[in-house]
Structures are given as C-alpha cells and as structure tokens.
Amino acid sequence: MKNGIKDIAQITGYSTATVARALSGNGYCSKEKKEKIMAVAKQLDYQVNSSAIALRCGYTRRILFCIPDICNIFYFKMIQGVMEVLEKNGYYTMLYPTDKKLEKEIEIIQLLKQKFCDGMIMVSFDFCQENISAIRESNCPVVITNKYDGQMEQDCFDYIFVDHTYGMELATEHLIEKGCKKIAVLSGSPTEQTTKERLDGYFDALKKHGMEMDRSYILNGQYNNECAYETFKQFIEQGRKVDGLIVSNDYAAMGILRYCHEAGIHIPEDIKLVSFDNTDYALSCMPTLTSVDMRQYEIGKYAAEILLERLQGRSKNHNIVMQPTLVVRQSSK
C-alpha cells in the first residue's frame, strides 16, 4: 500500500476518518489538522482510487457512448453534443465503436451490467429483439437514438430519434418546387428501417404533388462514395433521364459530383442535387451541397440530458422526435 488515506493517517498520526474528512471537505476537521493533512497529501501526491470509490459508492461517473462507426463524419456533431453535456455534469464519456455488429453491442451491454459505467447512449443501425432485450434486462439507464415502439413503462431506456420520413419529404418537395420532374433517389440498403422511412417520405411528397412514381428511379447506393459513383454512372449510361437527385448522405453525394464532373453533367443546371446529414463535406464540395440537417448535435445533447435525468432517479420514460431541416446551397439552386 502506498499513498492511500491510511498512509496519510499514519504519517500525520490522525485517524483515517479525519484524513478523509480533511480531503473530501465533508464533515468537520480542525484547521490545524487539515493543513497538516493537506501538506502530507500533497507531498505524497495523493490521488483517490477511482475503483475504490466506484465499489464503495456504486457509481463511476462514466457513461458509455456506443456508435456504429467512430470514424464516420455523421456522428461528429452527435459526439460533441453528448460530450459537452456530460462533461458539464461531471461525467466522462467513453466512446465505443460497435462496428455495426450485434455481438459487439451485446458485449458492451454486458460491460454495463458489470458496472463498468453508470449508463449508456447507444446508436445502432438495427435495434432488434436481441439487443433491446439485453438492454431491458441490464436494468441500467440507457438512451437509444431510434424510435422503438415496444417500450414499456418500467423499461430502463429512453429514446430520441430524428424523423427520416419528414427529412425526405423536405428534400423531395424542395426539388419539386425547383421544377424537377424526374427525381431519382440513391438510398441505403432496402432492408434497413431508415431506408424504408425515407422512401415513405419520397412517395408521400410525389403523391402530394400529383407526380407519378417510378420504382426504377430508386437506386441502392449504400451510403458510400465509390458505390454512389458507380451506381449513378450505370443509371445514366442506361440512358435514363433525371433532373433531380436525392442522395443518402454528403459523402455519397461527393461521389455523384465526381461522376458528373467527369461525364460533363452540370450541377445544378442539368441535375439538382440534395443530400442528407449536412456535414462539413457539404461546405467543401464544388458546388456546395444542399443537405438535410439531421439534427445530430441536438440528438446527442438531448440524449445525454435524458440519461442524466435517469441517473438522478427521475424515471419517467422519455421519447423525443426531432424534425430535420433543409439547408439550401448551390447544388440545387
């Protein structure tokens, strides 16, 4: 043993309780003793042992923040939002990338049960029976960033999510208003919940404006720059006519810009382009991108705030919807 409260007690000749009182400021300790104790503590470079506190007090002041991919620009603002709120409240954020793998999600929920952290915010592409059950059974405070319909009152988790359908409606209507007649969509994988929600918004907007919908205008681009490039290239080379294009994210939109540049297609003159996420990419492109802001910062911020409420014992279920906004720039002017 070294540099513990016991050592300081031994050196100063006071009891461990007195030393603890002096160090923590809780409870009375005479000025004289306090001074001596603080001096010795400083000399020994005393540091509390965080594991001892965690064991004794039952909290770690740490929060797990799980995201599918730590290197995806989409999450940057969300990370910022989460960390700002937690830091302000004296919590440390532990980032944990799940690689979009269910097994990693399950593993991390396990960790939570081991009192590794006090709570968790989890972003996942796929909230299913398995991970939701694990969260539920962990009985630890958790916030998930998706809509989840099966929530029960005694559940330990809250959720906050952004309305993808509405985001897509905004994008589609914007292009319609700009006079586009043939609007293609480069969307994510058709099995993903998000993709379905977005396509709903696309169809709703078309219907609302009395425009016909053509399934062949829905392309699968997988959120990926290279894939977007190839998919759209094929589409155009088939001789398809388009004057509006909605792309699943800014990075994929960059792939589109690259193809159009090479193919001599002018944006926004020939095709008006809208993408999703409103990340920094949207600003550094040529032309700059019109993009649907998915409120990532607020999602992170509110997720952290809801979690803090849970930790403070208020256990009313929260479920928040955020409405996206459209940021118009050169690519659709």
By CB under 7 A, is residue 321 in contact with DNA? no
Residue 62 vs 295, nearer CB to DNA: 62
For residue 2, which of 54, 58, 43, 38 has the smallest C-alpha distance? 43
Q: Determine the Cα–Cα distance for residues 298 and 217; give it in Å rounded to an integer.
A: 33
CB of 41 to its own copies, least distance (A): 13
By CB under 7 A, is residue 286 in contact with DNA? no
By CB under 7 A, is residue 39 in contact with DNA? no
By CB under 8 A, is residue 45 in contact with its own copies? yes
Residue 35 vs 99, nearer CB to DNA: 35
Residue 54 vs 320, nearer CB to DNA: 54
DSSP tag of 288: P
By CB under 7 A, is residue 6 in contact with DNA? yes
Residue 261: other Cβ atoms inside 10 A? 12
Residue 59 vs 148, nearer CB to its own copies: 59
Where would I find the H helices in 122-163?
129-138
Question: Which residue in 28, 31, 32, 114 binds its own copies (CB under 8 A)?
Answer: 114
Residue 24 vs 189, nearer CB to DNA: 24
By CB under 8 A, is residue 111 in contact with its own copies? yes
Which residue bears the tokens 């059950």?
Answer: 133
Could you check whether the bond before residue 190 is cis, i.e. omega within 30 degrees of 0? Answer: no
Q: Determine the Cα–Cα distance for residues 243 and 199; give it in Å rounded to an integer.
A: 18
Q: Determine the Cα–Cα distance for residues 292 and 279; give it in Å rounded to an integer.
A: 9
Question: Which residue in 39, 43, 55, 312 binds DNA (CB under 7 A)?
Answer: 55
By CB under 8 A, is residue 51 in contact with its own copies? yes
By CB under 7 A, is residue 23 in contact with DNA? yes
Residue 33: other Cβ atoms inside 10 A? 16
Residue 15 vs 43, nearer CB to DNA: 15
By CB under 7 A, is residue 111 in contact with DNA? no
Cβ atoms 37, 18 nearer than 8 A? yes
Please report, in angstroms and rounded to a whole number, the separation of the first and last CA atoms in the chain: 70
Phi–psi pair at 44, nearest 5 degrees:
-80, -5
Q: Determine the Cα–Cα distance for residues 170 and 120; give it in Å rounded to an integer.
A: 32
* Window 254 to 273, contacts with its own copies (CB under 8 A): 254-255, 257-258, 261-262
Binding track, positions 1-40, relative to its own copies; x by CB under 8 A: ----------------------------------------
By CB under 7 A, is residue 24 in contact with DNA? yes
By CB under 8 A, is residue 116 in contact with its own copies? yes
